[in-house]
Amino acid sequence: MIERLELALSRAKRYPDLHFAVLFVDLDRFKVINDSLGHVAGDRVLQLVAHKLQQLIRDTDIVGRISGDEFVILLEAIEGIHEVIRVTERILNEMTVPLIIADREVFVTLSIGIVINCTAHHQASDILRDADIAMYRAKLKGKARYEIFDPIMRLEALKRLHLENGLRQALEHQDFLLYYQPIFKLTDQEIVGMEVLLRWQHPQRGLISPVEFIPIAEETGLIVPLGLWVVRSACTQMMAWHRIFPAMADFRISVNLSARQLREPNLVQQITEILNQTGLPGQNLVLELTESMLAEDEEGVVALLSELRSHQIEISIDDFGTGYSSLSYLHRFPINTLKIDRSFVKRMQGDADDNAIASIILALAQRLKLSVVAEGIETATQLHQLQTLGCEKGQGYLFAPPLTAAEITARFHAQYSPHVLNHDSIPDVNAAR
Q: Are 67 and 24 in contact (CB under 8 A)?
A: no
Binder to Ca ion among 181, 233, 256, 359 (CB under 5 A)?
256
Comparing every residue's Cβ against ligand C2E, the nearest one is: 396
Pick from Ca ion, ligand C2E, none: which does 209 bind, CB < 5 to 8 A by kind? Answer: ligand C2E
Contact 285, 243 (CB under 8 A): no
Near ligand C2E in 17-36, by CB under 6 A: none
DSSP 3-state assignment of 341? coil
Asked if 69 contacts 138 with a C-beta cutoff of 8 angstroms, the reply is: no
Least Å distance between CB 95 and ligand C2E?
A: 28
User: Which CB atom, from 69 or from 318, has the smaller least distance to ligand C2E?
Assistant: 318
Which of these, 248, 251, 234, lies nearest to 196 by C-alpha position?
Answer: 234
Q: Per-residue x/- mask for ligand C2E, residues 309 to 348, rule CB under 6 A?
A: ---------xx----------------------x------
| Residue closer to ligand C2E, measured from CB, 75 or 348 | 348
Distance CA 10, CA 123 (A): 9
Residue 402's binding partner, choosing from ligand C2E, Ca ion, none, with beta-carbon cut-off 5 to 8 A by kind? ligand C2E
Is there binding between residue 130 and Ca ion (CB under 5 A)? no
Give the shortest CB-342-to-Ca ion separation in angstroms: 6
Q: How far apart are CA 270 and CA 125, in angstroms?
A: 42
Q: Does 394 bind ligand C2E (CB under 6 A)?
A: no
Q: Which of 103, 188, 211, 380 binds ligand C2E (CB under 6 A)?
A: 211
Question: Do the Cβ atoms of 334 and 309 come closer than 8 Å?
Answer: yes
Note whether 205 and 223 are within 8 A (CB). Answer: no
Does 156 interact with ligand C2E (rule: CB under 6 A)? no
Contact 263/213 with Cβ under 8 angstroms?
no
Among 61, 132, 318, 392, binds Ca ion (CB under 5 A): 318
When binding is defined by CB under 6 A, the residue of 32, 85, 139, 210 that contacts ligand C2E is 210
Give the integer Cα–Cα distance in Å for 307 and 316. 15
**123 neighbors 100 (Cβ within 8 angstroms):** no
| Sole binder of ligand C2E in the list 198, 315, 358, 386 (CB under 6 A) | 198
- Amino acid identity at 133: I
Can residue 214 be called a binding residue for ligand C2E (CB under 6 A)?
yes
189 binds ligand C2E (CB under 6 A): no
Q: Are 182 and 410 in contact (CB under 8 A)?
A: no
Q: Does 361 bind ligand C2E (CB under 6 A)?
A: no
- DSSP designation for 98: P
| Binding window for Ca ion (CB under 5 A); candidates: 108-116, 136-144, 159-167, 318-326 | 318-326
Amino acid letter, 255: V
Q: Outline where 141-258 has alpha helix (H).
A: 151-173, 210-220, 223-244
Q: What are phi and psi of 178, to 5 degrees?
A: -105, 135
Single out the segment in contact with Ca ion by CB under 5 A; choices: 60-68, 145-153, 239-247, 288-296: 288-296
Contact partner, 361, from Ca ion, ligand C2E, none, Cβ < 5-8 Å per class: none
Whether the CB-CB separation of 242 and 192 falls below 8 Å is answered with no
Residues found near Ca ion in the complex (CB under 5 A): 256, 288, 318-319, 375
Residues found near ligand C2E in the complex (CB under 6 A): 181, 197-198, 209-211, 214, 227, 230, 256-258, 318-319, 342, 376-378, 395-397, 402
